[in-house]
Structure 1
Amino acid sequence: MDADPIERARAALAPSGLILRGALNFAPDEERPEGPDGAPARAVILVGNAGAAYWRHFSRWRAEQAASVANPLDTWSRMVIARAAEAIGARVAMPNDRPYLPFQQWAMRAEGLRQSPLGLLIHPRFGLWHAFRGALLLDVEIPVQGVGEVNHPCDLCTGKPCLNACPVSAYTAEGFAYQACLTHVRGGEGMGCRTGCLARNACPHGREWRYPAAVQAFHQRAFAGI
């Protein structure tokens, strides 16, 4: 393996618009997923997006696929991340793989992120307009820079417009009312939400990274199964 797998992985992902989203070495005594050699992994590199730079690459690939391809974004992401895995001798892990892996916890450790009132992790630069698409599991430790103090945007937001924008008040201190949100998005009054989550769009932070309308509509349709 190359002495710097992070740079090799970054180069392999560059043509896709996906980027590296932090990395960490596992503690020897923590529960660890299986690495490429079958033993517990020793490190993980997170892969995802900030903004929608990936969209044109994904759209070009999707136009060449059969309309029936299942979970197209996950399928494309796995394919792209697999190329990076091959370049550095890693194993691919995806958020939807069973058993589920603690992607949110890894992200919080690797990038110092915290949850927003919507449950989504908010980034000090990208706001809510980012995602983790997969991970690369390694059987060796990697050079990782420590995460310094990260300013949490929600601490400075007094009005919390995200909590006031949802037409069915799906976001509360008790958590996310998934079924209420889903019923509304699928229903006759949910057209505005089918083109983008109103609560997410109400967040004033990181607006320059906001996904274009077509990207938001794609994700909302996938969420609602419509």
Structure 2
Amino acid sequence: MIAELEESLGAHRLFVSGLLHDGAETIALISPDEPGFWAHVTAQPEFFDGGPDPLDRWSERVIGALAPRFGARALYPFTGPPWQPFVSWALRSGQSFASPLHLMCHSRMGLWASVRGALALPGLLALPTPAPETCTNCPAPCTTACPVDALGPDGYDTETCRAHLDTPEGADCRTQGCLARRACPVGESYGRLPSQSAWHMRQFHP
């Protein structure tokens, strides 16, 4: 079933980024498959119809359409209450880990880790071997990359981050993406485009 799901997701430039058992179901976490995701998704109708939240609406349409094919329930991190425990699920999957910045670090995506939704599949399916822990032997360049120390052991200081983005010095983060996330060695080969990071920055700080 998972191989068939991966094939179906591939047509939408998505992939299964983690699997875990939850009760009598298997949760399949679904993430952007780079390179290629951003070019694909920004060509979809949701990005041209003038409506709000085009990425979330596209995710609901695509993942929601796949759910009945697999007898599954579609779940999303942006709809609630009730809010689904996506971070907990990701950590339990053995493919994502807590970074020194308290951001999730995925074994393939690094600090670009993102989950667009999940399918709750019936039954307890076979799970993959957990990935090697991403941050244990890493020199952690992410911890010193932020020019204003907005990310650290005490969490994310969003106000300091936003204030920096309003300055000329913040242009690099606005147009290329968060320096701390970009510093992650694991995520370097993921293929995340600066244009996607800039779009997300505009959603965070218009």
Following superposition, the deviation at residue 146 of structure 1 comes to 4.9
Corresponding residue number in structure 2 for 1:35: none
Corresponding residue number in structure 2 for 1:185: 165
Runs of 4+ aligned structure 1 residues displaced above 6 Å come to: none
Residue 26 (structure 1) aligned to one of 22, 27, 35? 22
C-alpha contact 1:12 1:87 (8 A) present in aligned 2: no
Count of residues in Structure 1 that have an aligned counterpart in Structure 2: 204
Show structure 2 runs of 5+ residues with no match: none
Q: Provide the rounded CA distance (Å) in 1 between the counterparts of 2:33 and 2:9.
A: 13
Shift in alpha-carbon separation, 1:43–1:208, aligned structure 2, 3 A = closer
Q: Provide the rounded CA distance (Å) in 1 between the counterparts of 2:57 and 2:193.
A: 21
Following superposition, the deviation at residue 134 of structure 1 comes to 0.2
TM-score, normalised via structure 2 length: 0.88
Structure showing greater radius of gyration is: 1
C-alpha contact 1:12 1:83 (8 A) present in aligned 2: no
Report % sequence identity: 34
Q: Provide the rounded CA distance (Å) in 2 between the counterparts of 1:156 and 1:103.
A: 26
Corresponding residue number in structure 2 for 1:83: 65
C-alpha contact 1:9 1:85 (8 A) present in aligned 2: no
Following superposition, the deviation at residue 72 of structure 1 comes to 0.9
Q: Provide the rounded CA distance (Å) in 2 between the counterparts of 1:142 and 1:97.
A: 25
Equivalent residue letter for 1:9 = L
Q: Provide the rounded CA distance (Å) in 2 between the counterparts of 1:176 and 1:182.
A: 11
Q: Provide the rounded CA distance (Å) in 2 between the counterparts of 1:123 and 1:143.
A: 21
Q: Does 1:127 align with 2:110?
A: yes
Q: Provide the rounded CA distance (Å) in 2 between the counterparts of 1:63 and 1:76.
A: 6
Corresponding residue number in structure 2 for 1:167: 147
Corresponding residue number in structure 2 for 1:32: none
Residue 43 (structure 2) aligned to one of 60, 83, 87? 60
Q: Does 1:198 align with 2:179?
A: yes
TM-score, normalised via structure 1 length: 0.80
Following superposition, the deviation at residue 23 of structure 1 comes to 2.0
Show structure 1 runs of 5+ residues with no match: 29-41
